[in-house]
């Protein structure tokens, strides 16, 4: 995402919590910041993309004893705007927005979906919650990282939509994994079967893009299983707060828990297929 912004001509200052991954961006022309505060100091727009709620809290607000980890709030100026691409709980986004507003800083929750493939291609779907005027202010940025930008309501709505997305991912990946296991057990020519099914009612992104990996037992990273499990927990908590049970998602969560316990957390979500291979 950052590389695409550089390629589009946006001046970019970068900081990574663990030093090293930002170096290719520096080589492309990005300026290196030594802390979140330093990254925010000269920024009209601050983009955050980290792993979970606590990471966002730490980057934006957590007091630090190490000056190289001063939070972004120490550098943000009134009138600036935070775009949070992380996937976190809707309530956390709403709380962050309130805290930033006290500093005169606007906030959009803008989680993305599309995996590493979409990030590289600039074709992510960006799910935005926040004020319409704030969205229009940052639309040139979002149009670079995403092929589709959808404004879904006030702050928190983007995260709620991402929860819906992760429920769909859970069901579709699990269904494809289960279907591949059945086809293999029956001895069918699965490459031909997948080609045939992709053109019918069973066609899906997961079938077209992950079935072959499942059949081959090879799971190159598109979206980490451990992160999907974290996102699924958010979806289940969000549903519970709305008084809704999600039995399919609860089942997939239990399958993912088994795989995490077996050490597969860094595999792609399509590693759900491993659950079936263990039962041959």
- Active-site annotation, residues: 162
CA angle 110, 115, 121 (to 5 degrees): 90
Residues forming beta bridges with residue 148, ordered by sequence position: 125
Within 13 Å of residue 176, how many CA atoms lie on the same side as its CB?
A: 26
Exposed, middle or buried, 150 (CB in 10 Å: 0-12/13-18/19+)? middle
DSSP state string for 238-257: HHHHTT---HHHHHHHHHHH
Q: Where are the alpha helices (H) located in the chain, listed in sequence order?
A: 2-7, 23-27, 36-41, 53-60, 90-101, 115-121, 132-145, 157-185, 190-198, 205-216, 225-241, 247-261, 273-277
Who's near 258: CB < 8 A, 6+ residues apart? 275
Q: Pairing mode, if any, of strands 124-128 and 112-113?
A: antiparallel
The pair phi, psi for residue 42, each rounded to 5°, is -110, 15
C-alpha dihedral, 7 to 9 to 13 to 19, nearest 10°:
10
């Amino acid at each position: 995402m950052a590389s695409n912004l550089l390629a589009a001509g946006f001046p970019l200052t970068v900081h990574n919590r663990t030093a090293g991954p930002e170096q290719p961006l520096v080589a492309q022309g990005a300026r290196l910041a030594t802390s979140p505060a330093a990254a925010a100091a000269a920024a009209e727009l601050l983009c955050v993309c980290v792993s979970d709620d606590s990471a966002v809290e730490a980057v934006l607000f957590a007091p630090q004893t190490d000056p190289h980890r001063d939070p972004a709030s120490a550098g943000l100026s009134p009138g600036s705007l935070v775009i949070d691409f992380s996937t976190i709980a809707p309530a956390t986004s709403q709380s962050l927005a309130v805290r930033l507003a006290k500093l005169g800083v606007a906030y959009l929750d803008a989680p993305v979906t599309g995996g590493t493939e979409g990030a590289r291609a600039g074709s992510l779907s960006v799910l935005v919650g926040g004020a319409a005027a704030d969205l229009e202010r940052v639309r040139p940025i979002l149009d670079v990282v995403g092929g589709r930008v959808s404004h879904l309501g006030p702050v928190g709505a983007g995260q709620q939509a991402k929860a819906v997305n992760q429920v769909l991912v859970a069901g579709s990946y699990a269904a494809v994994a289960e279907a591949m296991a059945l086809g293999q057990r029956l001895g069918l020519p699965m490459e031909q079967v997948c080609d045939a099914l992709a053109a019918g009612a069973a066609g899906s992104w997961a079938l077209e893009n992950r079935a072959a990996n499942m059949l081959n037992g090879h799971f190159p990273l598109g979206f980490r299983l451990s992160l999907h499990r974290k996102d699924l927990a958010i979806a289940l908590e969000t549903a519970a707060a709305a008084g809704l049970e999600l039995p399919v998602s609860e089942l997939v969560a239990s399958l993912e828990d088994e795989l995490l316990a077996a050490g597969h957390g860094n595999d792609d979500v399509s590693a759900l297929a491993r659950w079936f291979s263990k039962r041959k």
